[in-house]
Amino acid sequence: MKRTKRLAALILSAALCAGLLTGCGKTERSSVLSVCAGDDVTTFDPAYVSTAADNTVVGSLYEGLMRVSGGADGASSAVEGMAKKVTVEENFDGTTTYTFHLRSARWSDGRSVTAQDFVYAWQRLANPLTLSPNAPLLSVVQGYDAVRAGAELSELAVSAKNDSTLEVVLSGRYDWFLSEICTSPALSPLRQDVVQTLKEAAQDASAQDGPDAAPRKWWSDPTKLVTNGAYTAAAYEPGESLELTPSERYYGHVANDGVRFAFAADADEAWALYSGGAVDFTYALPDDQLTQQAQDGQHPLTPELSVCTVLFNGAQLPTSDPSVRRALTLAVDRQSIAALAGGAAQAAQGLVPFGVSGGDGGEDFRTEGGDLLSTATEDLEANRAQAQELLAGSDYEDRYDLEYLYVDEGPAAQIAAALAEQWQSVLNVRVRTRAVTEPELYTALRAGEYDLACVDRSVLFGDAEAFLAPFVSRSGQDVVVYENGAYDTLLRIIDSASDPAARLACLHDAEALLLEDAAVCPLYFTGTAWKLREGWSGLCRDARGWFSFMGVAAVSSS
């Protein structure tokens, strides 16, 4: 009820303001951008950002070594942020040293941003005690594995040579380090003294709240944070709204007078805010709007770095048999599954979705790689005939009763039922479906206590390696227990390749081998869309799903 009343109040307020501004023939408009970036943020701590709203807001408050900037053609690119200059040196031992020379930037309290602020933040991120979901972003840094295994944080090869010089040593050559890692809000700098002071204040407040109250976080009140980004937090109502104003200390130009966030529980509420005039931007669109966007050639969907896929347990029969996995994969009608997933879904032609760069200005990785999985309706009958032949010659027996795990969100239950029906009707393979919570699913995956499981596999950076690396033997992420020496060799070559063309070829070969072995069964990719009201321009979207508003300006009416 509270959200419903708030929604109506926001829309009414927006309508009244619009009437006042347009009355008497005036066309003035506020230069404060009102946006809906989804539900409320889950954290203002860079180490824990996970949602699009988290990254959008934290990326507005903090800035890393590099940042994503939009061009006049609508494309985005990585440009210098806190770093004004970067030098790269390839070392004899195969490592690569990046030296960042910091600009004369300041925190919102006036103190200088130093290299040590990055050292503290990155060590904190890598620390296994932090339990950050973003720690793998630093896996390419020399010493990361040792720190994760319990070594001193100083083993992470990130050091401050002086206040304005940061040195980072990578374990190999990773050409996407600047654009995909250094632009992530999770790798923003933090002031150790600020974090400590706010932690102590939060502990004191929690003690006064009493034992039954939820413990407060050091970042709970964003208006008390000391930040280094384009904006500072002016006001925050949890679950309701957040107001950001341009930082007086920021070195760069901010094209508007601030950003006002209105939070929405779901896409329908977000669309109501936009269509009612309460916000000028929303990225959360209902399925009917996404379907319309997909059908509109002028406004195609933008690919997301995510794939919905079925995982097979390769450590136990019958799914340890590649023929069984191939049969189950070939029997799936991906077009019908994608239709159940909604207007933003597209039948998967591989594991790596569209939207991943092929490198060096080349084509999209998926476009270059072609169709590794047949999705055409006219091929379905032949695929299923092949699936029946494979199963007949496999280790599968009628005694097996397979279980399919899924998280019951959105269309997941319908998809589970459809897959079970397809496997039963085409192959006479019995599959029970069971809904579990997300923690229960990942506990089962880590323990190897599953037969089939459906996951939405999203990545932390936009390179094909991010989708392929988890399947390296004994990688710690290989929950499908896939073991293929040729695949492991390809990934080792990818890690150390000095020739971008050779690296790209190995990436394509690795994906093809993974799907030839049917280690996983990709179902569909997803796309997204957003609406920015006419009269505004300059929006920048990161390929990983979040937005930058610092370049958004109100276009004056004639």
| 363 and 464 both lie in a single domain | yes
CA pseudo-torsion sign 458, 459, 464, 465: negative
| 500 and 411 both lie in a single domain | yes
How far CA 154 is from CA of 100, 185, 394, in Å, comes to: 18, 22, 51
Q: Which residue has the higher pLDDT, 421 or 5?
A: 421
| 139 and 153 both lie in a single domain | yes
328 part of a folded domain:
yes
265 part of a folded domain:
yes
Q: Locate tokens 């594991």: which residue?
A: 351
127 part of a folded domain:
yes
With cut-offs at 50, 70 and 90, classify the pLDDT of residue 452: very high
Domain boundary among 191, 209, 243: 191
Cβ-in-10-Å burial (0-12, 13-18, 19+) of 211 comes to exposed
Q: Which long-range contacts (CB under 8 A, 24 or more apart) does 376-380 make?
A: 377/335, 380/333
- Cβ proximity of 180 and 461 under 8 Å: yes
- Cβ proximity of 78 and 182 under 8 Å: yes
| 378 and 521 both lie in a single domain | yes
| 242 and 140 both lie in a single domain | no
* Total domain count, the chain: 4
Chain centroid to Cα 461, Å, comes to 7
293 part of a folded domain:
no
With cut-offs at 50, 70 and 90, classify the pLDDT of residue 359: low
489 part of a folded domain:
yes
With cut-offs at 50, 70 and 90, classify the pLDDT of residue 220: very high
Q: What is the pLDDT of residue 450?
A: 95
496 part of a folded domain:
yes
294 part of a folded domain:
no
- Cβ proximity of 117 and 131 under 8 Å: no
In three state form, how does the secondary structure of 18-77 look?
Answer: HHHHHHHHCCCCCCEEEEECCCCCCCCCHHHCCCHHHHHHHHHHCCCCEEEEECCCCCEE
| 335 and 416 both lie in a single domain | yes
Chain centroid to Cα 158, Å, comes to 24
Q: Write down the H helix ranges in 244-311.
A: 267-275, 287-295
| 420 and 505 both lie in a single domain | yes
384-442, pLDDT tens digit by residue? 999 999 999 998 888 888 999 999 988 999 999 999 999 999 999 999 999 999 999 99
Q: Which two tokens stand for residue 55?
A: 């990254």
| 205 and 75 both lie in a single domain | no
Q: Which residue has the higher pLDDT, 173 or 10?
A: 173
- Cβ proximity of 527 and 501 under 8 Å: no
476-512, pLDDT tens digit by residue? 777 899 999 999 999 988 877 778 888 899 999 999 9
Containing domain of residue 411, as a range? Answer: 302-528
Mean pLDDT, all residues of the chain: 89
Here the CATH number for the domain that contains residue 477 is 3.10.105.10
For the cut 50, the answer to whether the pLDDT of residue 32 exceeds it is: yes
290 part of a folded domain:
no
Q: What is the pLDDT of residue 173?
A: 85
Q: What is the pLDDT of residue 413?
A: 96
- Cβ proximity of 67 and 159 under 8 Å: no
| 413 and 462 both lie in a single domain | yes
Distance CA 346, CA 354 (A): 10
The three-point CA angle 244-247-250 to 5° equals 140
With cut-offs at 50, 70 and 90, classify the pLDDT of residue 71: low
For the cut 60, the answer to whether the pLDDT of residue 335 exceeds it is: yes
| 173 and 204 both lie in a single domain | no
With cut-offs at 50, 70 and 90, classify the pLDDT of residue 557: low
Distance CA 47, CA 40 (A): 17
Here the CATH number for the domain that contains residue 137 is 3.90.76.10
Here the CATH number for the domain that contains residue 17 is 3.40.190.10
For the cut 90, the answer to whether the pLDDT of residue 20 exceeds it is: no
| 96 and 140 both lie in a single domain | yes
User: Average pLDDT of 243-268?
Assistant: 94
168-196, pLDDT tens digit by residue? 999 988 888 999 999 999 999 999 999 99
Question: What's the half-sphere exposure (Cβ side, CA atoms, 13 Å) at 201?
Answer: 12
| 409 and 491 both lie in a single domain | yes
How far CA 453 is from CA of 327, 375, 420, 483, 523, in Å, comes to: 16, 21, 12, 19, 12
Q: What is the pLDDT of residue 255?
A: 94
Distance CA 320, CA 480 (A): 9
The candidate with the shortest Cα–Cα distance to 257, out of 459, 557, 554, is 554
Highest mean pLDDT among 220-229, 262-271, 543-552: 220-229
Q: What is the pLDDT of residue 12?
A: 42
With cut-offs at 50, 70 and 90, classify the pLDDT of residue 343: confident
- Cβ proximity of 245 and 261 under 8 Å: no
User: Average pLDDT of 195-203?
Assistant: 95
The candidate with the shortest Cα–Cα distance to 450, out of 386, 406, 409, 413, is 406
